[in-house]
Every structure is written in C-alpha cells, then in structure tokens.
Amino acid sequence: MNEAPRVTLTVKDGVAVIVVDNPPVNAISHAVRAGILAAVSEIEDGGKVEAAVLTAAGRTFMSGSDIREFDFPQKEPHLELVNAALEALAVPIVAAIHGTALGGGFELAMACHYRVADAKAKVGLPEVNLGLIPGAGGTQRLPRLIGAKAALELIQAGRHVAAPEALKLGMIDEIAMGDVLATAIAAAKRLAVEKNIPRTRARVVSTAGLPADFFAEQRAAAQKKFRGFPAPMAAVDLVEAAVKQPFAEGRALEAEASRHFKASAESKALRHLFFAEREVARIPDVPKDTPVRAIQSVGVIGAGTMGRGIALSFLNAGFPVIIVETKQEALDRGLAAIDQTLARDVGKGRLPADQKAERLARLNGALDLTALAGADLIIEAAFENMVIKRRLFAQLDKVCKPGAILASNTSTLDLNHIAAATSRPADVIGTHFFSPANIMRLLEIVRGRETAKDVVATLMDVAKRIGKVGVLSGVCFGFIGNRMFEGYVRESQRLLLEGATPGQVDKALTDFGMAMGPCAVCDLAGLDVSYLTREGNRAHMPNDPSYCVLGDKLYHLGRLGQKTGTGFYLYENGKAKTDPDVETLIRAEASRLGIEQRAITDEEIVERCLLPMISEAAQILDEGIALRASDIDVVWCTGYGFPRFRGGPLWYADGLGLANVVTRMAAIAARLGNPHGYWTPAPLLKRLAAEGKGFGDLAK
Ligand code: NAD
C-alpha cells in the first residue's frame, strides 16, 4: 500500500509553496484534492502570503487523475472546485512543472496564474485516449490559453506536448533554465510586485484566422475521423462553447459531458485496456526484481519481411544490429529495404536526416553466423521450417557467447523442439513479432518449458525498450493471437460459401470496429503464408472439406493477395475491388461441397466470426497459455486491430454475458450442425457461464 498522500504548505519570504506528495506519480486522488483545497484556504486565511507556488515531490508533477476513482462518482471536492479556488486566489499562484502534467494535472496547472516547466517536462490533455473529455475545466481553459484551433487539435489527439512546443503554443509561460521551483518562486514574486494576476477563465478565446464555419467543418471532419469514439467528437461542441459562451456555462456543459463519458461503455473498455497494458508485464513467478541480462547488441538472422522489421525496431531504439543472411544478394536486398524505410521516414518529416545516417551506422550485415559471437540477443527470422531452425540453433549454440539469449520468431513451430537443438535451452525463448515488425506494437514472448526466468524478464524489458507491448505466451500452435485467429478466418471463409461476399464479410466486421476485415487481412498478409501454415498443420486440422478451402483454391490459382494484385479482391492502384471471378469461384465451390447459398445478415457474420475466437480464448486460458484474460485483450487490440473501444474480445464477451455466448453457440450448432465441434463451448467458458461469471471474474 502507498502511504497516505501528503499535501504540505510552507511559507518562506512571503511565498507559500504547496507540495503534493503522492508516490509514485502524484495521481490526483481524493486526498490530494482535499489537501490542495485546504492549503489554498490556509493561504487565504493567513494574510502573510504575497505569492504562491504549486508543485509536487518525486519524479513528476501531478501526472493525472486517479483513474481507479473513475468507476465511482467523484467524491467532493471535485477537481474543478479545487481549480476554481486556485484561480480565485487573491495572490498570484504559479505551477512549477517537472515530469508530466497530464489530464487533471495540467488542468490544475492551467488554473494557476502562470506556468513554469522544466525543459524536459510534458503537458497535455490525453483524456480522449480513455474515451473521456477533460472534465475539470480543460476544455474551457485550454482554448483560452492557446486559441480554439490549437486547443481542439490537442484535445482530440490527446497528445503529450513537450515543453518547447508547449511554450510556443502558450500552454506554459516559461521554461526554467535552472531549478524549476526556484524559477517558479521568482515568477510568483514578480507577478506579486507587478500586481498581475492573469486568470485563465477571464481570457477571451482567440479565433483569429478561423473561417466562420470552423466548428461546422470540424464537426463533419470528426464524424469521419473518430468512428466509434464519441469523446473527440464532443470536444468540438465544448471548444465551441468556450468561444461562444461564458466560462461558467461552458464549464457546465463540460461537467455534464464528462459524467456521461465516464459512465460510457467505450470509456470503461479503454480504461480496462489501460490497466491491462500495465498488468501484462506482471508475471507471477518472475518477480519485478528478477535481474535482467544486459542487452547491448542484437543479431538478427534473415533479412526477409520480418528480419528487416525486427532489425529496424532495434535500430530505432538505439541498439547496434548485425543482420545475417545466406547470400549477398538477399542481404543487400534486406539492407536496401531498411535504408528505404528510414528514407521514407525522413521524407515524411518523422525522422531527422542525420538520425537516418546514425541508425544505418549501427547496422552491419554478414553472411556467416560467427559474426554473432559477441551479440547479447539473437533473433532468428529465417524460413518457417523446423529442420532449418534446429540447424541454425545448433550452430548458434556453438558460436554465441555464454549467456547470450537465443530467440526465434517462429509463428507456429514448437519452441521446445527448437530449444532442444542447443545445449542451453534455458537461454532460448520465442519472440513473435507482428508484421510490419517495426510498426506493430504487439510482441508475443513465448516461454519454453526450460526458458530461464531471467531470460523472460529480460525479454519483457527489451519489449519495453523497443516500444512494444510484450505479452507472455506458453508454447502451442499459433500462440495466443494466431490460435484465436484461426477460428475467425475459418468462419469468415465458410460464410462466403454460404452466400456472403468478401465485401460483405469485411464490411460487417469493420462496421463492428475491426481495423480490417478478414478477407482483406488475408490478402495483405499473403494467402501463401496462411496456406503454408495450414500445410504444416494438416495432421491436426478438422476433417472438414470446406475448411479454408477458398484460401487453398486462391493459393493454387497463384492469387496470393496484394503481392500478386489478386486474392479475395482485385487490386488496382492499391485499391481493392470486387472480383467477379472470385464470386464465380465461391459459387462453384459451394455447389461442389453441396452448401446451399442464402442471404446472410451482418449480425450473423459478426457472431459467427467472434464466438469461436472467444471459446478458443477460454481454452487458451484453461491451458495456461495466457496468464490472464486481459492479456488476451491486449494481444487482440495491439496486434489484430480489434476495436479498442470494445476493450478486446474477452471484455466484449463479458459485456455480452457468457451465458449468452454459450446460448448463441448452441443456437448456431442447432442450425448448422456441429460435426467438427466448432460450436462446442470450451469447458472454462461453459463453467463460467453456468456460474454466472465473466472472464473478468477470473482475476479476482
Ligand atoms: P521471409 O521468407 O520473408 O524471410 C526469411 C529470410 O531468411 C530470407 O531472406 C532467407 O534468405 C533467410 N534465411 C533462410 N535461412 C537462413 C539461414 N540459414 N541463415 C540466414 N538467413 C536465412 O520470411 P518472413 O516472413 O520474414 O518470416 C521469417 C520468420 O518469421 C518465420 O519463422 C515466420 O514464420 C515468422 N513470422 C512471419 C510473419 C509474417 O507476417 N511474415 C509474422 C510473424 C512471424
């Protein structure tokens, strides 16, 4: 348990300093709000104070509100009451910001009369990331500080703004060259001498240069841009209120909107993911203080699709990388592709040109595994073939220094069998990156039977260092994500045979919120990739002649998806179009298999694709492949484009009610038959449903 938060007030030379001390991040809990308010009253009553400063102890200013309190009605005093009291002070009060002042933290700072920040500080209103809008004056004060346009952009993006940009925009007034507190005290004294108390609420919002229909335009743009996310849409109305209405009226609208969004399903789902993404790093038998191995240099085997992306991830995070290929030509192609990706980033202004050179200077290529002798971490991304991988790992065992971590990017092969090709299976682990590996945030970290705890701890740490969300998975075919994806894709293709079109299936699922529909995803990933995966696993596949038969047919026709310009769709100038040939193929296959075609509703598509996934997830949990239900939600939201506003497949399932999930599976089984057990709920799902529980109850 944290100690009770302390808010202290000290007065020196006529300047009162309020210090909030609520480790680790000075979250604005109820006690913090009450403490600041008490300090403000003391300043008002004391009479000996000429100026004041609000600051925080430890590593950061108030980093934000205490999100756990959002599930309950906020206890008095509300943050805006505290803000109003700060703002109304008769003496100038200055916020001294170090670390981050986000959300409620920045709202407190905006209520002060002047803001001084450390050069490295960050400020912002990221509430939309949790499905919320700033609820303590943020939507009314930010436009008054920086103008309507910039404020709306920042509130909608929920972006953290670094001090130099914040100064330019007017979010802060001064960057401290030396000590922030001393600079803030000096500023407070100066304002006192000048008798200058600039209250944010009293300012007029700048609309300079904006067209008359600015808000109408913004409203229309938001409808398109923020599908499924009502909070950034509502921000338009609230910033408009800041422009057109007195502070108190705008504030009343904000309070109402804030209450509404806190209670919304979207915000609850996003808050669930916020905690899930933090919980994911907790591994019960690998305590936080487990020592990690020093990783200073990285080797990558294979410069294909994945090797390139993996190398880039490490280069971007500052590691030196050696990439090993079998042939000079393949190596050159890989290195050139990395160069091109960095050049594109420079072209788009995402990367300064000198940083491209600096990153490339840390990259070396080789044609011999002995080049990896000094590497601390080696990630193998060669062909998905057990013989090749075992041979490579046996060689690595001979070449690599003791203590080096040997990782495989295999997506389907048995990691334990790969590890057994070495004399050091404790040092072997799976690192399942997602394509494109330099972009996708998910990294499944696959723990083999013998993987050492410090190797697990090291990879979880490495994931963070390269900006990924590491999720621990046990060894099984497809790990967490792809194992669930299998049922999803199977049903999507079966629905085509029953009468849906690729366009309809994809649209039903993108309307549900998926980033892409399954047919488009298969075309993007390559129909050869999914075909070869099935080939490698035929022995364990259901004896179902319709099973992914369309994927197989397209593969045999050489229609491999986007890479060949034809797959489920026809690609012209990068745009997917319906292909009549595919519709003919689907009809022919349906008739060959004796499947009657019928009209299919979008509801059926969503249900048929999602329920098998949920049941498989229950089985994954039961087998201990995933540590917890929320980890599965993280996998799907960070790696598979599952809509974040639905919280992940298991949060969504809990929302449906597991008894309903089981009932719906039984209804589908009754209608379609269940010869392959597709619609038999996993035992854990059945048990939870019978007990009236959800996946969320497993954590309790
Ligand atoms: P790829 O065919 O694009 O690249 C593999 C590369 O490895 C080739 O350039 C090949 O020349 C090289 N290679 C083969 N044997 C080698 C050896 N002995 N030494 C050095 N280099 C060697 O394949 P990919 O799509 O990058 O997949 C690589 C691995 O990543 C596979 O295990 C695959 O299952 C896995 N994976 C792929 C994806 C994906 O979306 N493509 C996603 C996750 C995991």
> In the 3-class helix/strand/coil scheme, how is 213-273 assigned residue by residue?
CHHHHHHHHHHHHCCCCHHHHHHHHHHHHHHHCCHHHHHHHHHHHHHHHHCCHHHHHHHHH
- Which residue's alpha carbon is nearest to atom 25 within ligand 1? 305
What is the pLDDT at residue 540? Answer: 86
Among the ranges given (143-152, 350-359, 528-537), the one the predictor scored with the smallest mean pLDDT: 528-537
Question: Is the per-residue pLDDT at 614 higher than 90?
Answer: yes
Answer whether residue 2 shows pLDDT above 70: no
- 160 pLDDT higher than 90: yes
Indicate which residue's Cα is closest to atom 28 of ligand 1.
Answer: 381
Q: Is 436 in the pocket of ligand 1 (CB under 6 A)?
A: no
Atom of ligand 1 nearest to the CA of 388: 18
What's the CA-to-centroid distance between 56 and ligand 1, angstroms? 50
Active site annotation includes 194: no
Nearest to 603 by CA among 681, 669, 664, 657: 664
Q: What is the pLDDT, as a whole number, of residue 39?
A: 96
From the CA of 308, how far away is ligand 1's center (Å)? Answer: 10
CA distances from 115 to 99, 187, 402, 438, 605 (A): 14, 9, 53, 37, 53
Give the model's confidence band at 74: pLDDT under 50 very low, under 70 low, under 90 confident, else very high.
confident
CB-CB neighbours of 277 under 10 Å: 18
Q: What is the mean pLDDT of residues 152-164?
A: 97
Alpha helices in 47-147 (DSSP H): 79-88, 104-111, 138-146
Q: What distance lies between CA 247 and its chain's CA centroid? A: 35
Q: Which residues contact 407 (CB under 8 A, 6 or more apart)?
A: 377, 378, 379, 380, 428, 429, 430, 431, 459
Reply yes or no on whether the pLDDT at 191 is more than 80.
yes
How far does residue 521's CA lie from ligand 1's centre (Å)? 19
Reported as a pLDDT band with limits 50, 70 and 90, residue 65 is confident
Confidence of residue 66 (pLDDT cuts 50, 70, 90): confident
Cα 604 versus chain centre, distance: 29
301 CB within 6 A, ligand 1: yes
Q: Which atom of ligand 1 is nearest to the CA of 303?
A: 9
Ligand 1: which of 389, 390, 411 to mutate, judged by most atoms within 8 Å of the beta carbon? 411
SS3 669: helix
User: What average pLDDT does range 243-270 have in this prediction?
Assistant: 96
User: What are the pLDDT digits (tens) for 521-574?
Assistant: 999 999 999 999 898 888 888 999 999 999 999 999 999 999 999 999 999 988
Query: DSSP string spanning 294-323?
Result: ----EEEE--SHHHHHHHHHHHHTT--EEE
Q: Quick one: which atom of ligand 1 is closest to the CA of 435? A: 40
Q: Establish whether residue 388 lines the binding site of ligand 1, counting it when its CB lies within 6 angstroms of any ligand atom.
A: yes
For atom 20 of ligand 1, which residue has the closest CA?
325
- 39 CA from centroid of ligand 1 (Å): 62
pLDDT at 142 over 70: yes
107 is catalytic: yes
Identity of residue 46: G
Residue 536 CB–ligand 1 contact under 6 Å: no
Which ligand 1 atom is the nearest neighbour of the CA of 380?
29
Is 304 near ligand 1, meaning CB less than 6 Å away?
yes
Judge if the beta carbon of residue 411 lies within 6 A of ligand 1. Answer: yes
Active site residue: 80, 107, 254, 266, which one?
107
Q: How far is the CA of 384 from the centre of ligand 1 (A)?
A: 6
**Over residues 95-117, mean pLDDT:** 98
In this structure, of 363-367, 435-439, 494-498, the range with the lowest mean pLDDT score is 435-439
CB atoms under 10 Å from CB of 235, counted, come to 30
Residue 660 has pLDDT above 50, yes or no: yes
Evaluate: CB of 306 within 6 angstroms of ligand 1: yes
Task: Name the pLDDT band for 1 (thresholds 50, 70, 90).
Answer: very low
pLDDT at 509: 98
DSSP state of 538: G
Residue 650 tokens read as 């298991």
- pLDDT above 70 coverage of the chain, percent: 99
The pick from 301, 305, 391 for probing ligand 1's pocket by mutation, whose C-beta has the most ligand atoms within 8 angstroms, reads: 305
Q: Is the CB of 561 under 6 A from ligand 1?
A: no
**Percentage of the chain surpassing pLDDT 90?**
93
Task: Give the separation between CA 275 and CA 279, rounded to whole angstroms.
Answer: 6
| Closest protein CA for atom 3 of ligand 1 | 304
Q: Of residues 80, 127, 384, 498, which has the active-site annotation?
A: 127
Binning pLDDT at 50, 70 and 90, where does residue 3 land? Answer: low
From the CB of 368, is ligand 1 less than 6 Å away?
A: no
Is residue 521 lining ligand 1, measured as CB closer than 6 Å? no
pLDDT given at position 5: 66
pTM over 0.85: yes
Cβ–Cβ < 8 Å for 269, 651: yes
- Angle at which helix 79-88 crosses helix 30-46, to 10 degrees, equals 20
Instruction: Check whether 4 has a pLDDT greater than 90.
Output: no
* Helix, coil or strand: residue 120: coil
What average pLDDT does this structure show over 278-285? 95
pLDDT in tens, 264-277: 999 999 999 999 99
